[in-house]
A and B are shown apart, each in its own frame.
Chain A
């Protein structure tokens, strides 16, 4: 009599590949996270070595920013008013060189107010140039 053997083979899936897959997935998500782009606003700056022509500078709009106010060509404005006015002023300028806006900030001007104002100037097509306060060293005998 022929005895039939039932050969039951236990076939397990290879578990060693699971750790490799886990590592590759971790690296995949790390690479995705590391190339996340930054959100922001670009700013083109005229080179500081260029000596501005004083006569030309007097024709450029001047903005003075402080903690409490934004002053455009000597007129204090609220932020939304400034947004409208700077567009009107720059719309009248035909040449690129005339669209340079001289920005002077008080030392205590917070960055969030400065960047908001800079955003309005850029929105209006202006190019920002900074006018920094001069530092003078005096020798005392």
Chain B
């Protein structure tokens, strides 16, 4: 009986660890800004890393496919439930992030830039 309990708890442990939007392997530094808001839930997470590579929910993707993929993820979700996190390395240039912002807009996502509070050191 105890072995069954342990197996069940281990299963829950790894299910929680295996997040759908795992982008912990992406190397990036957030830009800093004051007066930030908080948001917990996002349908999708887009990241541009220090090498200007683009990721959607932790998986590499090309910018031409981005709008389509985000549309598919967002589906028929109502307004207010279509948040898309955008994590851009602070030194990435407009050549890379502006098309991404356009793609998110085209897909109808509610864009949220993920930043670091400028007050924190």
Q: How far is the CA of A111 from the CA of B99 in the complex (A)?
A: 13
Residue of B nearest to A123 (CB): B35
Of the candidates B38, B102, B116, the one whose C-beta lies within 8 Å of that of A48 is B102
A41 and B36 within 8 A (CB) = yes
A20 and B9 within 8 A (CB) = yes
| Chain A CB within 8 A of B42 CB | yes
Chain B: interface residue count, which band?
A: 35 or more
Q: Is the contact region of chain A dominated by helix, strand, or loop, or is it mixed?
A: mixed
Of the candidates A23, A65, A114, A123, the one whose C-beta lies within 8 Å of that of B6 is A23
Cβ contacts under 8 Å, B40 to chain A:
35, 37-38
Q: How far is the CA of A26 from the CA of B102 in the complex (A)?
A: 41
Size of the chain A interface, CB-CB below 8 angstroms: 41
| Chain A CB within 8 A of B90 CB | yes
Q: How many A-B residue pairs lie within 8 Å, measured between CB atoms?
A: 128
Q: Is the contact region of chain B dominated by helix, strand, or loop, or is it mixed?
A: mixed
In chain A between 1 and 37, which residues have their CB closer than 8 angstroms to a CB of chain B? Answer: 16, 19-20, 23-24, 26-27, 30-31, 34-35, 37
Cβ contacts under 8 Å, A46 to chain B:
105
Whether A42 contacts B110 in the complex (CB less than 8 A), given A109-B93, A114-B94, comes out as yes
In chain B between 71 and 108, which residues have their CB closer than 8 angstroms to a CB of chain A? Answer: 85, 88-95, 97-99, 101-102, 104-106, 108
Cβ contacts under 8 Å, B85 to chain A:
38, 40
User: How many whole Å from A75's CB to the nearest CB in chain B?
Assistant: 21
Q: Which of A40, A45, A130 has the most CB of B within 10 A?
A: A40
Which A residues lie at the B interface, using CB under 8 A? Answer: 16, 19-20, 23-24, 26-27, 30-31, 34-35, 37-49, 65, 105-112, 114-116, 118-119, 123, 130, 132
Ranked nearest first, the 8 interchain pairs of A and B with the lowest CB-CB distance are A105-B94, A112-B31, A45-B105, A37-B38, A109-B94, A39-B36, A112-B90, A23-B9
